[in-house]
Amino acid sequence: MDYFRMYRRFVIIYIKGKLEYHLSLLFELIANTILIGVYFVGFNVIFHNFNSVAGWNKYEVLFMFTTSWLSYSFSCFFFWSPMQILVN
Amino acid sequence: MRKYIDYIVIGIKEHMVYPSAIWAKLFSKIIYLYLQFSIWTALFSSHSQINPLINREDTLKYIIVATIISAFIECNTIEWINAQIQTGNIIMELIRPIDFRKMIFSRHLGDSIVKIVFYCIPLSMLAIVAIRKPLLCQGQILCGFLSIILAYGIQFLYSLIIGLLAFWLIVTWPLNMLLGAIYKLLSGAWIPVTMFPDLLYKINFFLPFRAIYAIPVTIMKSQMNTQNIWKDIRTQLIWIIFLFVITEIIWQIGKRKLIVQGG
């Protein structure tokens, strides 16, 4: 239970830390949005030259990519970023 | 000069301080090379190719050479400057009787020497054994190395510019993350630029990114005429001069704007 409380504390500290620098947070949100756009462009370049990858078409590949990105983002929010406080 | 050589040695020592980290990085680079190889092999094995101008062998050679070059050309200057500004240590760096930018370059050079020895050489040997075909165009190796040196300079100056923007932004990692993805895409590190659609190819023509990977890798692996090689090398030289001027301007203005956090 103590571990859970400590973890919750880490998440709160992390969110507060993020909200402290407004410009940095805004920049981070924009950067993340454009970043995923760049990956989409990359996929489009590949599918500009190929119809499919081992039978998977463009939309199927994009769906898999975004699903993986979503789970990665959740894991970063709940685990990686709060735990970074321990490292620093 | 002696003090910069000392910084090169520091760069080497810093990278070698954790031997297990070197092994882990080498292992990750081997996995990355294998992934790239597998993805492009899967793409060409699908027989779903639309563009008739690209072929499996050339693309695989391109990707392998680009991955090997990326193992040492990539630069952690942005993260380093960020950390120095955020911790306030930059003050200590700035009061030393040395040129800040030359000091960063010396550290980076030391870091790159370790990367060449521990990552590039093993990766090259592995690739040669796996492919069993010559990866490089023998007659153009010297021009290729010259082009890689220029690309190394462009990559460093580009990283230094983004790193120095921390004088204004304090935190540049979101900018680094954003530009990092654009850079990886447009430089040709992930996908050969010859595969780009017309519009993207034209946009990329006016940006420095292709001078970092696409130009040196193409010179290293494809047969080209001398005129085209020198035209590409001239493009790289122009970008180096341009980025150098930008760095100088940012440095002169930025050092007056420096805000130190913590310390």
Tens of pLDDT, residue by residue over B227-242, are 999 999 999 999 999 9
Half-sphere exposure of B142 toward its Cβ, with a 13 Å CA cutoff? 3
- Closest C-alpha to B208, from B162, B239, B238, B181: B239
Q: For residue B167, what pLDDT is reported?
A: 78
Evaluate if residue A76 carries a pLDDT over 90: no
Q: For residue B191, what pLDDT is reported?
A: 87
Predicted complex: ipTM over 0.90 = no
CA distance B227 to B219: 12
B182 in A contact zone (CB under 8 Å): yes
User: Which residue is associated with the tokens 């990552």?
Assistant: B119
B45 in A contact zone (CB under 8 Å): yes
Evaluate if residue B9 carries a pLDDT over 60: yes
What would the pLDDT profile of B130-186 be if each residue is shown by its tens digit? 888 788 878 888 999 999 999 999 999 998 998 888 877 777 777 777 778 888 888
Evaluate if residue A88 carries a pLDDT over 60: no
Question: Which percentage of chain B shows pLDDT scores above 70?
Answer: 97
- Closest C-alpha to B181, from A31, A44, A35, A69: A35
Q: For residue B117, what pLDDT is reported?
A: 93
Q: What angle do CA B54, B55, B56 make, to 5 degrees?
A: 135
Q: Phi-psi region for residue B55, left (φ > 0), alpha (ψ -120 to 50) or beta?
A: beta
- Closest C-alpha to B222, from B51, B61, B54: B61
Type of residue at B169: L
CA distance B73 to B112: 7
- Residue by residue, DSSP assigns B184-246 as HHHHTSSS-GGGS-HHHHHHHHTSGGGGTTHHHHHHHHS---HHHHHHHHHHHHHHHHHHHHH
Provide the pLDDT confidence category of residue B260 given band limits of 50, 70 and 90.
Answer: low
Q: What's the pTM value of the predicted model, to 2 decimals?
A: 0.84
Evaluate if residue B263 carries a pLDDT over 50: no
Q: For residue B238, what pLDDT is reported?
A: 95
Best of A26, A30, A36, A45 to mutate (most B CBs within 10 Å, chain B): A45
Q: For residue A87, what pLDDT is reported?
A: 60
Q: Where are the alpha helices (DSSP H) in B18-140?
A: 19-45, 56-73, 77-87, 90-95, 100-115, 121-131
**CB contact at 8 A, B3 and B98:** yes
B227 in A contact zone (CB under 8 Å): no
Query: Which member of A27, A48, A53 has the closest CB to residue B43?
Result: A53
State whether B185 and A41 contact (CB < 8 Å).
yes
Query: Which member of A21, A41, A50 has the closest CB to residue B46?
Result: A50
Evaluate if residue B17 carries a pLDDT over 80: yes
- Structure tokens belonging to residue B133: 């075909």
- Structure tokens belonging to residue B232: 């590409």
* A13 Cβ neighbours under 8 A, 6+ residues apart: A82, A85
Q: For residue A85, what pLDDT is reported?
A: 62
